[in-house]
Structure formats: C-alpha cells, structure tokens
A and B are shown apart, each in its own frame.
Chain A
C-alpha cells in the first residue's frame, strides 16, 4: 500500500491504518528502537507506542515522508524510555557516546529555557543539517539521528572508521561555531 493511502486511512480514522503501518514500517521502526534500547521487549513497546503516536498525530499532520515521520516518533519515544531507565547514571551504549560527543558543542549545561527557545534551536539545527554537503549530512544523520555506532556508519558508506570519526569531529566543530554565533553556547 502506498504511503498516501496509509495516511488517508489515518485521516479516515480507520484502524486498518495501524495494520498497514505495522506491515510496511514495523521492522523499520523496530530497527531504530532496538538500535537505541538494545532490548527486544523495550523495542517492541516503543514500536507499539509509535503507532499510538502516529494515530494521535494524523490528522491533522500529513507527513511528507511517512517512514521518516514514524522514525522520528520512534526515536523520541525510545530515547525517553532510555532516559527513564538510565536516570541515575549514563551507563554505556551509543546514546552515552553520542551525548559525550555532542557535549563538545555546548558549554552552558543549562536547560533550554523555553519552548520557543527549543523551537528556534530546532529550526537552527534543521537548517544546519540541510546545508551540510551530502556525505557529511548522511554521516551526521546516521550517527546522531539513528544513533548508529561509528563502525556501523563506516561500514554503511564504505569508509574507514577513522575517516568517519574525523568527519564527525569537523562537523561538530562547525556546529559549535554556529551555536556560539547564535548565542546558544
């Protein structure tokens, strides 16, 4: 079934929407969730919560790319789940490593104060990613959206791991410069 037809089912409030979503994107969402949580049970729970999230979002939202829209929901739910589990300590895993890397870009350690600040930051980051050269964009998104390990990113694109680390280092330096310029850090 096409993405448009699936979205139309959501708009028609047909429960078949969930069935079709699971059939077409269940594995995709599971892969994202498992990559973050490393637990079958938790990943399955995240995926089920994703369907709920999708049901609540559509309507009114009509995503341009359904897979990425679902992927965002799964990622958000999975990261929140990970945070609840690791409230006391960071622990290991790719999220911890990614957070350590991203910490190089920020310096204040304070929360983003308001929802408006967070929305503006969101737009800034979206533009930053959009303006990255193609290869850098792919590497950045795989590492910090999908939370793939640097080894997995290297394997995916046929690079050495050192090249991926080097590329990410340069991108983080660019991001840091942008955040400083905009007063976020």
Chain B
C-alpha cells in the first residue's frame, strides 16, 4: 500500500466526522483559570524561589559516580543548538542528551498534558542536592539557552521552576520513560 492510497481513503471517512472536525474548539475556561492561578502562585512564592536559587548552585553536586551540574551545559552537542531544543537527562549513573525533535516535542506535549489534567502539589523549597537511585534530573534546553528543569523519581514528576509536583498515571509514566529512554 502506498501513502497515496491512504490519502485517498481518508477522503472517504464519515461525513459526520468531517463536520465534527470543522467546529472550532473554544478555549476551555479551565485553562484560562489555571493559567491565572499559576501566575498568582508564582508571584506569591517568587521570594522562596529566589532564596532557593541562591543556595541551589552551591549544593547541586551529584552523588559520587553521577554527573555534576557543570556537565549539564557541557552535554549539548557542538553545533546542535541552532534552531533545536534538546533534553538533557542526568541520573546517578550518567547523563545523555535527547535531541530527536519528535521526542522533544512529545515530551513538551506530555508535560503540557500533565500540567493541564493533574492536580499539582506545591513543594517549597524545590528539590535539589544529590540525585538518589532511580531519580533523574531533566533539563529542557532551548536553542536560545532558555532552561526549564524537572525531576522524575518513580511516578513523581516535579517542575522545578513552578515548584509543583505531579503524580503521573501509569500511562504517563510509561510514556515519559519511553521518551527519555529510561529503563526500569
């Protein structure tokens, strides 16, 4: 079968499904409300975050045998940063980068889904210090050097920048491990 055949038969789908897709989806009120709530929460806890950042850099060494803070920035491939976003993953046994654009996009989409659909728990101060066995530090590094940091420990997923912890569903946890190439 060719892709052209697939394109042709897609033209024969049910008229109701075609009509359904033509209706524009209104932006859910919940998304606006949660964005507003997140903004207010950030304003309230910003002093705490700043205090934490001042102390975080000094204490951010990894366990013996693990990658250090400095390795995060060194891990970007030379020349790989132009128009690319990458994921740097650090565990106690080493570190690597995920630069496959489909996987990075999948990670961003999964995080967006988690934030939209899961009740996050505030954790102040944000986790820091040495990684434990089975814990991973994930840095989403964009081509303009914007960094967004997360921690994954079992099915606990923490957004460091917003100091929120989310408990992943089994499906989300499996998908996260697949994207980040983490085996149990």
**Chain A residues close to B by CB (< 8 Å):** 63-65, 67-69, 71-72, 75-76, 79, 83, 95, 98-100, 102-103, 105-106, 108-112, 118, 121-122, 125-126, 129-130, 134-135, 137-138, 140-142, 144-146, 156-158, 160, 162-163, 165-167, 169-170, 179, 184-185
Contacts and interface: CB of A to CB of B under 8 A. Distances in A.
Contact of B11 (A145, A156, A166): A145
B108 A163 contact: yes
A106 B136 CA distance: 36
Interface string B3-26: 111111111111111111111110
B19 A67 contact: yes
Given A76-B11, A169-B106, A179-B1, A138 B112 contact: no
Contacts of B25: 135, 138, 156-158
Nearest to A120: B9
A95 B24 CA distance: 23
Return the 10 tightest CB-CB contacts between A and B, nearest first. A68-B15, A141-B21, A166-B109, A68-B18, A162-B105, A103-B3, A65-B15, A102-B3, A138-B21, A122-B9
Given A79-B11, A163-B108, 4 more contacts: A68-B19, A126-B12, A162-B104, A169-B105
Contact of B20 (A79, A126, A137, A165): A137
B54 to A, nearest CB: 32
B112 A160 contact: yes
Contacts of B108: 160, 162-163, 166
A141 B105 contact: no
Nearest to B85: A162
Contacts, number: 135
A112 B5 contact: yes
Contacts of B23: 138
Nearest to A65: B15
B102 interface: yes
Contacts of B24: 156-157
Nearest to A64: B15
B77 interface: no
Contact of A122 (B12, B20, B102, B110): B12
A92 to B, nearest CB: 16
A156 B140 CA distance: 27
B18 A118 contact: no
A129 B4 CA distance: 17
A158 to B, nearest CB: 5
A185 B1 contact: yes
- Which residue among A100, A135, A169 has the maximum number of chain B CB atoms within 10 Å of its CB? A169
B140 to A, nearest CB: 11
A75 to B, nearest CB: 5
A57 B147 CA distance: 58
Given A63-B15, A126-B14, A158 B27 contact: yes
A141 B17 contact: yes
Contact of B2 (A106, A134, A142): A106
Contacts of B4: 83, 99
A129 B14 contact: yes
Contacts of A166: 102, 105-106, 108-110
Contact of A99 (B7, B12, B14, B20): B7
Given A156-B24, A166-B105, A145 B5 contact: no
A146 B21 CA distance: 10
